[in-house]
Amino acid sequence: MVRLLSLAALLAVSVSARAATEEPGFFTHGLTDVQYAWSDSEQSWLKRGPDKLRFDETDQDELQLGRLGLELGYAFDLQSVLKLEANYYLDPDSSLELTEAYFQHRTLGAGSWRSRYKLGVFYPAISMENTGPLWTSPYTISSSAINTWLGEELRAVGAEGRWTWIGDEYNRSKHRFSLFAAMFCCNDTLGAMISWRGWSIHDRQTGVNGTLPIRELPAIVYADHSREFEPFMEIDDRVGFYGGMEWDYARRLKLQFVYYDNRADDTIRQDDQFGWRTKFGQLGFHWQPADSWDLLGQFMRGRTIMVEDVVINDFESGYLLVAKSWGPHRLAARVEYFRIIDVDGNSFDLNREDGDSQTLSYSRLFGRGWKLSLEATRFFSDYAARSHFGETERRTEHELLVSLRYYF
Amino acid sequence: MTWRVSFCLRCLSALSALLLSGALHADFLVEVDSRGALEGAVVTARPVDGRVEGPSPPATVSMVQANRQFDPFILPVPVGVPVDFPNRDDTAHHVYSFSPIGSFELPLYKGDAPHPIVFDKPGVVPLGCNIHDWMIGYLYVVDTPWYTQLSHNSARFENLPAGTWEISIWHPAIDHLPTPAWQVTISGTGQSETLSLDFPFASVTQPEPPRERFDERGDY
């Protein structure tokens, strides 16, 4: 661990950080995140246990590597940029995961409309929370249940267009109306984690080359499903889509609606993974009544189906986050709930979940890139799948996280 | 927010303003009761009866980008005087205008000071930045060498020659309003006149840039 931390420090110092829009050419950014976790969770899902947070009580002996994140890019000019983002983790196994890799072109200038196009692997811009470098949240260490799930399982491998009305060219409006739409592939297994692990809260994002551990649920054993879940697979050669709209007023208020459908064929199985047909709608908002206050939230509801009569789950979650900043200090509080409604009623694969979580986070920025955060989380879940292991379905976890990040 | 504005124009120290040539000049003070709502407004004077030689224009003027804002918010530019756009920010800007008197787009990387732009007609040139869309600034191109700007509700013309002058004021807050021009005769003796803009208008000030933190990113 110490060697790794030295490597992280060396990497951070040796890479010359430059802003992406500073001048044409190559640029690099990144962050190192070292964490200490105190947790009363028995065994984390990352170790195939029943608990939902990233760390558990066995992790208290040493410092943890939250991540080593690196963003490499090449700016052709102010309009076109090529970006690659990767994260290195030690848990559950040492892995370097490619989280985003895309080409972006945006139009600047004439007219009342602007457009932005992305081609490659990218996050749909539907998180109100994860607006920091490498899709981190500037408010808390762990993301909300919704965004934890998006970071684990959802990525677009395809093309996205975004068109924004910015008002009359002589007199720019304070209103911005955007429409966006994308076509993508390779997210056909989306839905498995929230069904077979349930909702979770953490800060670990999966790369397109990454896999996630799944417990030996009866359905997994019966179907001889792989014990490593692959979120980013194309198994049916069908194209998925999402689309939405956003209204922004004077950068103070943002309202967004998005509809997503991976259009996966839920009858297909390939390489010991199943197709999961997953659709959802989401409402998101971000209100900044002043520079020092942020109020944001997302509400999502959807359905995932795996082999029509085997798994049909409705899922739903929402959070509200309020953050107050003063100078380099920021205090953020987030409350949320999440549910899985097990519609299929199959007793050999129980997925029902009801839970809620509260997070309180304090952070402070130091100098030109250091950030220290202290975060407390309570996570309660009543998750039926635990009964397959003879465990109590209701569990409450508490976690205290300290994180020291360096952004470069 | 609306303000009613009244102008008070007074000749100051006219008697002491005699130049060596013997021609009568006066320092001329324009006062505006707008409680700061027209800060930076460009006040121009034009001789009504014939041409009078004025002060020579500056060689260049600069509209700077600093702290993700235009500095100054309003820049008076004499016709024919080159305007440069130095970028003093760490980030790049993409400054544009679609003004009928001259439209342009300038990609400005850190430290860039591209070729200056010359306007050969008077008028308003609203400026924006395509990357930081809260950035708003104005060039006001004037066809008279006699111009000044309101600061703390007053603007001073130095050594305005005696004669009859037409005084005008421009500010984005009153851009589309029927702002009158006033005729004022500078006689070289003490005089005071009060003129008024008798209509309501909404205040327009330079927008503040949003907060900037290294753990947050803009979205465009």
| Domain locations along chain B | 2-54+145-202, 61-142
Q: What is the mean pLDDT of chain A?
A: 93
Q: Which of B29, B59, B69 is nearest to B184 (CA)?
A: B29
B61-142 matches B2-54+145-202 in CATH topology: yes
CB contact, 8 Å: B130 with chain A?
yes
A77 vs B107, B210, B220: nearest CB: B107
The pLDDT of A197-223, averaged and rounded, is 96
Q: Contacts of residue A114 in chain B, CB cutoff 8 Å?
A: 130, 220
Q: Which of A140-154, A217-231, A376-390 has the lowest mean pLDDT?
A: A217-231
Kindly state the tokens that stand for B126: 């609203």
Q: For the residues A3-24, what does the mean pLDDT come to?
A: 56
Residue B149 near residue B41, CB atoms below 8 Å: yes
| Per-residue pLDDT at A220 exceeds 80 | yes
Q: Per-residue confidence at A132, pLDDT binned at 50, 70, 90?
A: very high
For A291, the closest of B91, B128, B211 (CB atoms) is: B211
Give CB contacts under 8 A, 24+ apart, made by B19-23. Answer: B19/B159, B23/B161, B23/B162
Q: Measure the N-to-C terminal CA separation of chain B; round to a whole number of Å.
A: 31
pLDDT in tens, A65-96: 999 999 999 999 999 999 999 999 999 989 99
Contact A125 B92 (CB under 8 A): no
| Range in A38-47, A172-181, B8-17, B132-141 with the lowest mean pLDDT | B8-17
Q: Is the pLDDT of residue A382 over 90?
A: yes
Tokens of A209: 């080359």
Buried b (16+ CB within 10 A) or exposed e, A21-55: bbbbeebebbbbbbbbbebebeebbbbebbbbbbb
Contact A365 B215 (CB under 8 A): yes
Residue B52 touches partner A, C-beta closer than 8 Å: no
Region B2-54+145-202: CATH code: 2.60.40
Q: Is A361 an interface residue toward B (CB < 8 Å)?
A: no
Q: How far is the C-alpha of A47 from the C-alpha of A137, rounded, in Å?
A: 25
- Decide if pLDDT at B19 tops 60: no
Task: Tell me if chain B has a CB within 8 Å of the CB of A170.
Answer: yes
To the nearest whole angstrom, how far is the Cα of A250 from the nearest Cα of chain B? 8
Instruction: For residue A407, give the nearest of B126, B210, B214 by CB distance.
Output: B214
Most confident among B89-93, B159-163, B188-192 (mean pLDDT): B89-93
Q: What is the pLDDT of residue A3?
A: 57
Q: Say yes or no to pLDDT of B22 above 60.
A: no
The answer to whether B212 faces chain A, any CB pair under 8 Å, is no
**In the structure, what pLDDT confidence band is assigned to residue B16 with cuts at 50, 70 and 90?**
very low
pLDDT for res A9? 56
Contacts (Cβ under 8 Å, ≥6 apart) of B51: none
Structure tokens given for A144: 């909300």
Decide if B126 and A22 are in contact by the 8 Å CB cutoff.
no
- Written as one string, the DSSP assignment of A91-132 is SSS-EEEEEEEEEEEE--SSSSEEEEEEEEEE--S--SS--S
pLDDT above 80 (res B46): yes
Closest CA of chain B from A243, distance in Å: 17
Q: Which two tokens stand for residue A223?
A: 């179907």
Cβ contact B94–A166 (<8 Å) = no
Which range, of A22-36, A177-191, B36-50, B136-150, averages the lowest pLDDT? B36-50
Query: Going from the N-terminus, what domains does chain A have, and what CATH number goes with each?
Result: 30-407 (2.40.160.10)
Please provide the average confidence, as pLDDT, over all residues in chain B: 82
Provide the CB-side half-sphere exposure for A110 (13 A, CA).
3
Sequence-distant (6+) residues with CB within 8 A of A367 are none
B54 contact A CB<8A: no
CATH of range B61-142; options 2.60.40.420, 2.70.50.60, 2.70.70.10, 3.30.365.10: 2.60.40.420
Cα radius of gyration rounded to whole Å, chain B: 19
Are A194 and A229 spatial neighbours (Cβ–Cβ below 8 Å)? no
Position A134 pLDDT exceeds 80: yes
**Torsion of the alpha carbons at A386, A390, A395 and A399, rounded to the nearest 10:** -90
Least confident of A120-134, B54-68, B196-210: B196-210
Q: What is the pLDDT of residues A245-271, one digit of tens each?
A: 999 998 899 999 999 999 999 999 888
- Residue B208 pLDDT: 87
Among A162, A155, A255, A256, residue whose Cα is nearest residue A208:
A155
The pLDDT of residue B207: 87
Give the side-chain half-sphere CA count within 13 A for B126: 19
